[in-house]
Amino acid sequence: MEDKELNTEPSLTPKELRRSVWSGTEILRKFHSILIGCVLASIGIILLRHAHLVTGGTPGLALSLSYLFNASFSTVYLLVNIPFYILSIMRMGWSFTLSTFVATLILSVTTMADRLFPVFTVPDWAGALFGGAFVGVGLSYLFLNGSSLGGVNILVLYFHKRFGWDPGKITFVIDFSVVMSALYSVGFVKGAYSVLSVVILSSIISFSKGRFPVRYKPEVSLRSMGTQENHLHGGKR
């Protein structure tokens, strides 16, 4: 009798579980998480820009190109990200790609808020220390919530997801290469401080790496739910 009572308790079907993942509450929570991560990262980028430093990844590459061509960071950042969306769709899925696209748009808009402030200069050491820390925390928060700032971050998460590689170490290798290529636009001294910002950023990501895969499980579970649903329908036939 007890077993029958337990079996007759209401449970969610695969379709209902899929709907619950994409509910309005979940979408708002996702957007809120992306917004927090982007605001933190944009503060770091603004500090780096006012110190005339660069950092790694796509934001660092966009900063370097914006210095070189005297262009808007937001515009360059969006353009640099375009090729990486194809990889994201193919390897990371539509959910991740969409959230990443939203994150890049938010970061572009929030960094444009810098124009509202008076011109100021940030010391090199402060830009490297606090700029790298803010970008690192912002990126880690985005990674934890199944998003990124696009570009090479997509590669970092793909290698972590596919091969289990340390995202902090991958980030450091790529970011170091980006900073070295930016020496022409910032000079040797500022390039050295930029490397310091990369070390800080990568260390923060490595510290948080153990929790990154957790947010990808819902997407995997959706596939498994679809498989279970097919089995159920096949059983009914």
Over the stretch 130-170, which tens digit does the pLDDT of each residue have? 999 999 899 888 888 777 777 777 777 778 777 778 777 78
Burial 127-163 (b: 16+ CB within 10 A, else e): bbbbbbbbbbbbbbbbbebbbbbbbbbbbbbbbbbee
**172 closest CA partner among 46, 51, 60:** 60
Contacts of 213 (CB under 8 A, 6+ apart): 160, 161
Please report which confidence band the pLDDT of residue 223 belongs to, taking 50, 70 and 90 as the band edges.
very low
pLDDT at residue number 22: 53
Q: What is the 3-state secondary structure (H, E, C) of the chain?
A: CHHHHHHCCCCCCHHHHHHHHCCHHHHHHHHHHHHHHHHHHHHHHHHHHHCCCCCCHHHHHHHHHHHHHCCCHHHHHHHHHHHHHHHHHHHCCHHHHHHHHHHHHHHHHHHHHHHHCCCCCCCHHHHHHHHHHHHHHHHHHHHHCCCCCCCHHHHHHHHHHHHCCCHHHHHHHHHHHHHHHCHHHHCHHHHHHHHHHHHHHHHHHHHHHHHHHHHHHHHHHHHHHHHHHHHHHHHHC
Contact assessment for residue 21 and residue 93, using Cβ atoms and an 8 Å cutoff: no
Average pLDDT over residues 39-43: 92
Question: Two tokens at 82?
Answer: 């375009």
For residue 50, pLDDT over 80 is answered with yes
How many whole angstroms separate alpha carbon 78 and alpha carbon 108? Answer: 7
pLDDT in tens, 70-86: 888 888 888 888 888 88
Burial category of 117 from C-beta neighbours within 10 Å (exposed 0-12, middle 13-18, buried 19 and up): exposed
Confidence of residue 126 (pLDDT cuts 50, 70, 90): very high
Q: How far is CA 148 from the centre of its chain?
A: 1
User: How much of the chain, in percent, has pLDDT values that exceed 90?
Assistant: 14
What is the token pair recorded at 147? 């998003």
The answer to whether the CB of 205 falls within 8 A of the CB of 198 is: no
The whole-number pLDDT of residue 39 equals 92
pLDDT average, residue stretch 5-14: 44
Kindly report the length of the chain: 237
Give the mean pLDDT of the chain.
76
Whether 49 shows a pLDDT value over 80: the answer reads: yes
How many other CB atoms are found less than 10 A from the CB of residue 69?
10
Predicted confidence band of residue 225 (pLDDT cuts 50, 70, 90): very low
Domain positions in the chain are 21-227
pLDDT at 1 over 70: no
The stretch 31-59 carries a mean pLDDT of: 88
pLDDT of residue 193: 92
